[in-house]
Structure 1
Amino acid sequence: MIGRIRGILIEKAPGQALVECSGLGYEIDIPYTTFFHLPETGEELILHTHFAVREDAQSLYGFASRLDRDLFRLLIKVNGVGPKLAVGILSGLDAQQFIRCIEARDLNALVKLPGVGKKTAERLLIEMTDRIGQLEGQFVPTSPGTSGSEAVPTEVSARGPGARAEAEEALIALGYKPQEAAKAINKVAEEGMSSEILIRLALRNMIPA
């Protein structure tokens, strides 16, 4: 089991990071809440990871905090929730926000997550209510504006029309329909915004927390 990676960030894109460690480059799938915390390329970073092995693939998932990684491991134990959907859930809400949704039994917020229908949301409420107790000691209440998902990315990438297209593609890859992605981006887009900021603002509007 690969539980932690410390190395140099070589490349990054919404949903994935390439990290060099001891001469090896690890392609790591990450939720967007982790993507927004990545440093600039060429800098060192630490990701808490989960290594998944299937018959047709081996995948490494990375998270900015151990709490996010441990919650991911609990999510994939829920009936009908695989790694891809778990990453989508943690792209819309960071671990602390998700835990608050479960504690408040906020079905509406869960349904707005990509790939989560009403039945899946109800299943999450039922099964995760008991399981989040396993995260005791890691969950630290934060005041508005201090959680990871509220962070504003410091590095910019494509701007202008290219940024909009990149942001829309990222939302579609996350599980939103093209029409939903375009509408969400157009609603928040302003001249000069980077794709990272567009994605963050769009997700914030689509999944208020």
Structure 2
Amino acid sequence: MIGRIRGTLIEKVPAQALVECSGLGYEIDIPYTTFFHLPESGQEVTLHTHFAVREDAQSLYGFASRLDRDLFRLLIKVNGVGPKLAIGILSGLDAQQFIACVEARDINSLVKLPGVGKKTAERLLIEMTDRISQLEAGFLPAKPGASGDPSIEIAQKTGPDPGEEAEAALIALGYKPQEAAKAISKVAEPDMTSEALIRLALKNMIPAG
């Protein structure tokens, strides 16, 4: 089992990070909540990981904290929740926010997550209520290094249109194109990065409990 990787961040996109460690480059699937905590390319990064092996694929999933990683492991044990849906859940809500939803029986926030219908949300509330008690209380303090108000982030370089990148990222997460376009248009301001647009759009679509 590969439980943690520390190395140089070579490349990052909202759904994946490429980390070089001892000469090897690891492609690691990540939720957006982890993407927002990544340093700039070329800097050292540490990710808590889960290695999954199937007949047709081997996948490595990475998370900014052990709490997020351990919650991911609990989520994929829920009937009907695979790694892709678990990553989607942790892209809209970090572990602390998800735990708060479960404790508050907040089904409304859960059904706003892509791929989570009412039945899945109800199943999550039922099965995760007991399972989250397995997470150590010591994991609960907020993660360091979170950026400030994303609305003040501005684009530092030219490139693809940030709005189009943000829409594509939300669609890849599971939102419908119309939902993605509407969410981005509500928060878009001049010179915002795609990262800022995604973060604000998700914040509006899935408000913290």
Pairing of 1:18-37 with structure 2 (within 5 A): 18-37=18-37
Q: Deviation digits for residues 25-70 of structure 1, max 9, x if unmatched?
A: 0000000000000000000010000000111110000000000000
What amino acid is the match of 1:189? A
Shift of 1:175: 0.3
| Residue segments in structure 2 that go unaligned for 5+ positions in a row | none
CA distance in 1, matches of 2:45, 2:200: 25
What amino acid is the match of 1:200? R
Shift of 1:102: 0.2
Relative distance call for 1:149 and 1:115 in structure 2 (3 A) is farther
CA distance in 1, matches of 2:64, 2:162: 24
CA distance in 1, matches of 2:154, 2:38: 9
CA distance in 1, matches of 2:182, 2:30: 24
Secondary structure of the residue aligned to 1:6 is strand
Secondary structure of the residue aligned to 1:138 is helix
Secondary structure of the residue aligned to 1:165 is helix
Relative distance call for 1:161 and 1:9 in structure 2 (3 A) is closer
- Residue in 2 aligned with 1:136? 136
How many residues are aligned here? 206
CA distance in 2, matches of 1:45, 1:98: 24
Output the TM-score relative to the length of structure 1: 0.92
Q: Deviation digits for residues 71-129 of structure 1, max 9, x if unmatched?
A: 00000000000000000000000000000000000000000011100000000000000
- Residue in 2 aligned with 1:200? 199
- Residue in 2 aligned with 1:115? 115
CA distance in 2, matches of 1:70, 1:25: 24
CA distance in 1, matches of 2:140, 2:79: 27
Relative distance call for 1:160 and 1:185 in structure 2 (3 A) is farther
What amino acid is the match of 2:168? E
Structure 1 residue 187 and structure 2 residue 206: aligned?
Answer: no
Output the TM-score relative to the length of structure 2: 0.92
| Identity in percent | 80
- Residue in 2 aligned with 1:101? 101
Shift of 1:137: 2.0
Q: Is the 8 Å Cα contact of residues 93 and 149 (structure 1) preserved in structure 2? A: no
Relative distance call for 1:46 and 1:205 in structure 2 (3 A) is same
Shift of 1:140: 2.4
Structure 1 stretch displaced more, 17-26 or 129-138: 129-138
Relative distance call for 1:151 and 1:12 in structure 2 (3 A) is farther
Structure 1 stretch displaced more, 53-62 or 154-163: 154-163
What amino acid is the match of 1:163? P
What amino acid is the match of 2:207? P
- Residue in 2 aligned with 1:162? 161
